[in-house]
Structure 1
Amino acid sequence: MKILLIAGGWSSEREISLVGARGMQDALTQRGHDVTFFDLLHDFDRLLECARAHDFALINLHGAPGEDGLVQAMLERADCPYQGSGPAGSFLALNKAAAKQIFRQAGLPTADWALLPQRPASDWEPPFGWPVFAKSNTGGSSLHLGRAACRAELDPILDEIFAAGECALIEPQLSGREVTCGVLGEEALAPILIEPVAGEFFDFTSKYARGGAQEICPAPLPDAITAEVRRLALAAHTALGLAGYSRTDFILGADGSLHLLEVNTLPGMTPTSLVPQEAAVAGLDFGQLLERLIELGLERHTGTPRAR
């Protein structure tokens, strides 16, 4: 199959995208596919032309463009099938404040929040008290993320977020452990328990530095909590109108409570990334996982399940 592998782009997560895509290219080539590596930063103006010349597109972009649905909309205009969610679901999931509204409407647990599209007045205080976490409303990879116990600590974090051209999302600090759970097709995978080693929470350093965090898969949790994590991951996937695959991040409280943090529509895709780890527990190696994503994308494009 002629596959257009779309990576790079121009978000702050560009380098992470390129590293993952090189591994995907190797795995796909080994499985006999004809892969064209397409760096969106340099070739965006050729996207429609190239998409029409390929059988399928695999998107490995993080942030915008990519997770915002733009590339997906253009691929649909070129009638080129691709993996994962369509433009609307992608955009809603990327915008954390919009996604949290949808979670609340669907009865799914998520922390309170405040969206700051611009710098608040000097006397602004969060409606839920301190300490808080501040992060980019549409960013990923835990970039521009910080904890603040007072306004003086919050302002430098806001400076970084606004300097990057982003809106800020403020949430109360939730005590607990981070758990993540992927969805593949119509099934939630085995959850992963994440225990940061390099810091107090799963920030950029913990996520990408060697030894920055322990990722325990499957998560050593009681059966009832595992079942609820899986149920909520699938419910969030459905509420946002997603397709193919996704990964939902949670905070698990000491009392067993769960709060949705966000849903990723283009989760990391290296052999050791979170969703590939979960797929391995389900019996799929990295190459087989990529094949399954292609299969699901083709089914969505034609509206007909393929014989397996």
Structure 2
Amino acid sequence: MNVVFHVDVKQYGKVAVLLGGISAEREVSLRSGNAVLNALQNAGVDAHGFDPAEHPITDLINQDFDRAVIMLHGRGGEDGSMQGALQLLNLPFTGSGVLGSALAMDKVRTKQIWQTRGLPTAKYQIAEKRSFDAGSCKVIMATLGDIVMVKPAQEGSSIGMAKVTSAAQLETAIQDAFKYDNTVLLEQFIQGPEYTVTILNGEALPSIRMSTPHNFYDYDAKYHSNSTEYFCPSGLNAQDEAQLGRLAIDAFDAVGATGWGRVDFMRDEQGQFYLLEANTVPGMTEKSLVPMAAKQAGMSFEQLSLAILATADA
């Protein structure tokens, strides 16, 4: 990694770490934000927590902040709306801009872009709340295969997701997913290990392989379970690791994402990687994947937090 660890932190001025927010991922955002806030303060940065759910965004200007570190996951923080507000306030912020954030947040449009770019992604269909016909579930199962993943189009942390094996289960899962989003992604399940690659300043960090006894890598497996296993190094040979890193960078670039983030994959039994989704503000909790990959690359959590802060000036 080409990361400068010794920097004059005073150059960043007064920094707001945006955390909490109003999305379904508020709990995770508070944990991510507080972890990064503590790391930046320990590094000597004049950093302060700022919860947009409790303060008007204009307070960032009224309180003379110079930069914002976005640690808001999900709607209102990761979907381009906060990026647009900060852009209008002329306040530099970390990570992707309006377009990259909005596209990456939308799983359906992300897949459509990847398809047009010839990047590998699983077969899928779309269910719209306004026009969904429960009678189509048998046809969808026949088209996508024996196992289907159901995902609200614009939720993160596996919220509202389900793995189904029958038309009856599919109908129930879609109706449940509609509670979170009016558009639901129905995706062919890829049988095999799951991988993730962190992107930092245009470079791919070492990949991580996840293994869980859960039905899939769900919210509980990500944030609460002690049975989830993480392998970093992931066990890939050098050629496959390089291929996966290039694919992650291509996928991240394709949706206009910049600065830092994470791209998730499945690998089938034939060794083919399939793109799942891109995350422009991934978790930074004690169980999160980005700090794990950074550690394998030789970076401490503090150094990683400073590197993310530096993307506000990119």
Q: Which residue of 1 aligns with 2:165?
A: 149
Write the distance in 2 (CA, Å) between the matches of 1:10 and 1:29. Answer: 25
Q: Which residue of 2 aligns with 1:185?
A: 201
Q: Which residue of 2 aligns with 1:47?
A: 57
1:136 equivalenced with 2:152 (yes/no): yes
Alignment-mate amino acid for residue 133 of structure 2 = A
Alignment-mate amino acid for residue 240 of structure 2 = I
Is the contact between residue 48 and residue 75 of structure 1 (CA under 8 Å) also seen in structure 2? no
Q: Which residue of 1 aligns with 2:86?
A: 75
Say which SS state the counterpart of residue 247 (structure 2) adopts: helix
Write the distance in 2 (CA, Å) between the matches of 1:157 and 1:9. Answer: 27
Q: Which residue of 2 aligns with 1:306?
A: none
The structure 2 residue matched to 1:23, chosen from 11, 35, 54, is 35
Write the distance in 2 (CA, Å) between the matches of 1:166 and 1:246. Answer: 26
Write the distance in 2 (CA, Å) between the matches of 1:240 and 1:200. Answer: 29
Alignment-mate amino acid for residue 222 of structure 1 = N
The structure 2 residue matched to 1:226, chosen from 238, 241, 256, is 241
Question: Which aligned pairs between 1:151-166 and structure 2 lie closer than 5 A?
Answer: 151-166=167-182
1:171 equivalenced with 2:193 (yes/no): no
TM-score after normalising by structure 2: 0.90
Is the contact between residue 271 and residue 286 of structure 1 (CA under 8 Å) also seen in structure 2? no
Q: Give the alignment's Cα RMSD to 1 decimal.
A: 1.4
Question: What is the CA-CA distance between 1:168 and the residue it aligns to?
Answer: 1.0
The structure 2 residue matched to 1:88, chosen from 91, 96, 99, is 99
Is the contact between residue 155 and residue 180 of structure 2 (CA under 8 Å) also seen in structure 1? no
Alignment-mate amino acid for residue 194 of structure 2 = E
Is the contact between residue 21 and residue 72 of structure 2 (CA under 8 Å) also seen in structure 1? yes
Q: Describe the superposition over 1:74-105 as per-residue Cα deviations: whole angstroms up to 9, x where unpaired.
A: 11111111110001000000101100111111
TM-score after normalising by structure 1: 0.92
Question: What is the CA-CA distance between 1:140 and the residue it aligns to?
Answer: 0.7
Question: What is the CA-CA distance between 1:179 and the residue it aligns to?
Answer: 0.3
Q: Which residue of 1 aligns with 2:76?
A: 65
Question: What is the CA-CA distance between 1:108 and the residue it aligns to?
Answer: 0.6
Write the distance in 1 (CA, Å) between the matches of 2:287 and 2:181. Answer: 31
Is the contact between residue 163 and residue 215 of structure 2 (CA under 8 Å) also seen in structure 1? no
Write the distance in 2 (CA, Å) between the matches of 1:117 and 1:41. Answer: 29
Q: Describe the superposition over 1:193-220 as per-residue Cα deviations: whole angstroms up to 9, x where unpaired.
A: 00113x1321111111231311111211
Q: Which residue of 1 aligns with 2:273?
A: 258
Question: What is the CA-CA distance between 1:36 and the residue it aligns to?
Answer: 2.1
Write the distance in 2 (CA, Å) between the matches of 1:34 and 1:167. Answer: 41
Write the distance in 2 (CA, Å) between the matches of 1:225 and 1:54. Answer: 43
Write the distance in 2 (CA, Å) between the matches of 1:61 and 1:244. Answer: 15
Q: Which residue of 1 aligns with 2:48?
A: 36
Say which SS state the counterpart of residue 247 (structure 1) adopts: strand
Question: What is the CA-CA distance between 1:165 and the residue it aligns to?
Answer: 3.7
Equivalent residues, number: 296
Larger RCO, structures 1/2 (Cα 8 Å, 6+ apart): 2
Question: What is the CA-CA distance between 1:272 and the residue it aligns to?
Answer: 4.2
The structure 2 residue matched to 1:101, chosen from 112, 116, 120, is 112
* Bigger mean CA deviation after superposition, 87-96 or 273-282: 273-282
Say which SS state the counterpart of residue 134 (structure 1) adopts: strand
Structure 1's consecutive aligned runs of 4 or more residues displaced over 4 angstroms after TM superposition are none
Q: Which residue of 2 aligns with 1:303?
A: none
The structure 2 residue matched to 1:2, chosen from 7, 10, 14, is 14
Is the contact between residue 225 and residue 256 of structure 1 (CA under 8 Å) also seen in structure 2? no
Alignment-mate amino acid for residue 28 of structure 1 = L
Write the distance in 2 (CA, Å) between the matches of 1:257 and 1:30. Answer: 42
Alignment-mate amino acid for residue 283 of structure 1 = G
Q: Which residue of 1 aligns with 2:228?
A: 213
